[in-house]
Structure 1
Amino acid sequence: MLSGGSTGVGLTARDELESTISLARTADKRGFHRFWMSEHHGMGAASVSSPPLMIARLIAETTRVRLGAGGMMLPNHSPLLIAEQFGMLEALAPGRIDLGLGRAPGTDGATAAALRRGADANDGFPQQVLELLGFLDDDFPSGHPYRQVHAVPGPWQAAENRVSTPTGTPQTWMLGSSPYSAQLAGQLGRPYAFALQFGDADVDTAMRLYRENFQPSDALAKPHTLVSVSVAISEDPAEARRQAGTSAMAMLRMFKREGYLLLPPDEVQAYQPTMQERHILDAYTDRSFHGTPETVADRLEDLHARTGADEVMLVVGGHCASLDREGISLIADHYAMPRSEIPLPVAAQ
């Protein structure tokens, strides 16, 4: 599993989007199971503000890997609109679309206010999720105000058109890094993805609460979990640490409200931090799984043993996109994942 979509200083948005396409192609060829992109706004190093638009492009560039949003920040959107967009994507690539749902704005406070038009947008998140699931499944109870409102494409359209093979629905995940998200995912009976790359999040408590609160649903019979972690992989461990340092510097810049930018590694190394800044840089660099494929694999296996996660997602996003592609190929080689020369669809050639 992979998560990508970032650009370094000196590169254009088009460069970043092309590198994301190339990364997805590599993931597809090397047998990775999922490729997700997160929704971000107003962040210079994150050009994917609309995962559905990027997924639509990647459908034409890949053949096997599942494509998804990890995630869509639901309070930024109308649930009906998201149901329609992901219904279209599922119709274009049946059985290959994931919809991860989060409640954070994916940006700073001022930009969130411009997106949401209300400071209390997060308060209704559980209801927003239920509304979205109602639209996706076309399953509102009798008397619900949206009983006669339908997301198209979706199950209602298939029934109206008398289609024997109805359009499916995307696999819907709950995302988070807190006990709140874990409990909600369990209560709704949905798969749960935990973002370990953010801060000092307590993954052990979250996993326990998710499993304790899990209620089987039509979508999922038993708990299913994913843990994501930042990685930087190279045959040269020093270079891997340099790349991890670029992401750490971007986080420091965000904390200082200087803008989330991926600076060149040489510029990061030349920076003279204060003692407090050094602590932040070291913490985020060390939190990422960086080093040779063998070193990173050891940490991934320790993480799997500790959390019991069903899936582990690698979050890549250093300054150099080519090193990200090389890194995922190295870890694929380490695990003897298949190398397949998949012919590109005509539209992508």
Structure 2
Amino acid sequence: MNDPIQGIPCGSAPAPLSVLDTALTGRGHTAADALAGSIELARFSDRRGFTRYWVAEHHSMPGVSTSSPAVLLARLTAHTRQLRLGAGGVMLPNHPPLVVAEQYGLLQALAPGRIDLGLGRAPGTNQATAAALRRGRADDDAFPQQVLELLNFLDDDFPEGHPYGDRVHAVPGPVQDKENAAQSTAGRPSTWLLGSSGYSAQLAAHLGLPFAFAAHFSPDLVVPALDLYREKFRPSPTLAEPYALVSYGVLAADDEEEARLQAQTFAHSMLRMFQNKTYLVPTPEEAASYPYTDAEREVVDDWTARVLHGTPDKVTAELNRLQATAGADEIMLATMGHSPKALLRSTQLIADAYEMPTRADAADSATH
């Protein structure tokens, strides 16, 4: 198994490369189409030596189909061999920490040593849906305590006198192996903190956890957040030195115009969100023909520009430039387009441009 933190060298890429997936479900596609595309993309990522494949949690959004990352990840364990699989991430305030510990302990049992658990504090949806999910159980201010509780469950290591103590355990997990006198080689999932500001950067540093920054949402804050994380980092039993991953929105295509049209579908979806409409990914033709007002055009142009789009040489050159500034330990590709075909093609083109070698023992030999 590859190390849970250190990424796999990838040809001429400036850092190890990984993939972020939301099972984008554009107009004209079903969830079944999108999820079949996710399986194909994960198998390709495994075969071409990407380090990890994360699934993001979103709710009440017709344009994505990843309301339950753990369910999709369970399926992907059967289609991959080497690729690390994980949540990018679980929006922890939406869930009791015990449930998350159980789900990802189960995944770790299915794919020992290959599971990542990325934790975020945003709802992954609108406020009304967040209220329906949380039922008044938690708020963002409780996030640090939720993270600590989750870590205690994963390690089965609550402090003495804690009300859960010896009475509540995450299973599968350490207590199961101990009670059954079984030697486990799985360990716990590699736990990360996710964010798009300095808040999670500081918390990750304080807890000595790896940190993933969502540059596809906040590109201007990458360097300050990573600097803060590295400056405040405190070594822990989990991690001796800071390790930072940065995700960038990308869309590579065979020609510039196709790339721009695909990227604009994502920008149109963001415009709808700002207008309190559903997150819906239009076809490239629908986005191109929409009668934008001047204010709407400004929003769409801004979000289109946040996606590194163009030919593969142009996209990789921009990734190289950004990496030279941020110095991330790993780069994650958040591919933004309309169809599973466009997302897969973009990833293929970037892998080829970076001359990522094919790994013969990976997805081709996994269960289909």
Deviations 1:239-293 (A, max 9, x none): 1111100000000011111211110101111012111111111111111111111
Residue 52, structure 1, aligned to residue 73, structure 2: no
Structure 2 matches for 1:202-281, cutoff 5 A?
202-281=221-300
Alignment partner, residue 286 of structure 1: 305
CA shift for structure 1 position 142: 1.1
What's the TM-score once normalised by structure 2's chain length? 0.92
Deviations 1:34-92 (A, max 9, x none): 11111000000111100000000000111111111100000000101100100010011
Residue 35, structure 1, aligned to residue 56, structure 2: no
Residue 84, structure 1, aligned to residue 102, structure 2: yes
Alignment partner, residue 26 of structure 1: 44
- Does the CA-based 8 Å contact 2:20-2:335 persist in structure 1? yes
CA shift for structure 1 position 24: 0.8
CA shift for structure 1 position 167: 3.5
Q: Report how many aligned residue pairs link the two structures.
A: 347
Amino acid at match of 1:83: A
Deviations 1:143-201 (A, max 9, x none): 11121121111111111111233431111000001111110010000000000111455
Alignment partner, residue 330 of structure 1: 349
Residue 153, structure 1, aligned to residue 172, structure 2: yes
Q: Distance in 1 between matches of 2:108 and 2:318?
A: 34
- Does the CA-based 8 Å contact 1:75-1:125 persist in structure 2? yes
Q: Distance in 2 between matches of 1:264 and 1:167?
A: 43
Alignment partner, residue 13 of structure 1: 31
Alignment partner, residue 345 of structure 1: 366
Alignment partner, residue 177 of structure 1: 196
Alignment partner, residue 126 of structure 1: 144
Structure 1 unaligned residues grouped into runs of 5+: none
Q: Which has the higher contact order (CA 8 A, sep 6+)?
A: 2
Q: Distance in 1 between matches of 2:136 and 2:239?
A: 33
Residue 302, structure 1, aligned to residue 330, structure 2: no
CA shift for structure 1 position 120: 5.3
Structure 2 matches for 1:64-75, cutoff 5 A?
64-75=82-93
What's the TM-score once normalised by structure 1's chain length? 0.97
Q: Distance in 1 between matches of 2:197 and 2:141?
A: 16
Amino acid at match of 1:82: V
Q: Distance in 1 between matches of 2:259 and 2:214?
A: 21
Q: Distance in 2 between matches of 1:329 and 1:63?
A: 19
Structure 2 matches for 1:104-123, cutoff 5 A?
104-118=122-136, 121-123=139-141
- Does the CA-based 8 Å contact 2:43-2:364 persist in structure 1? no
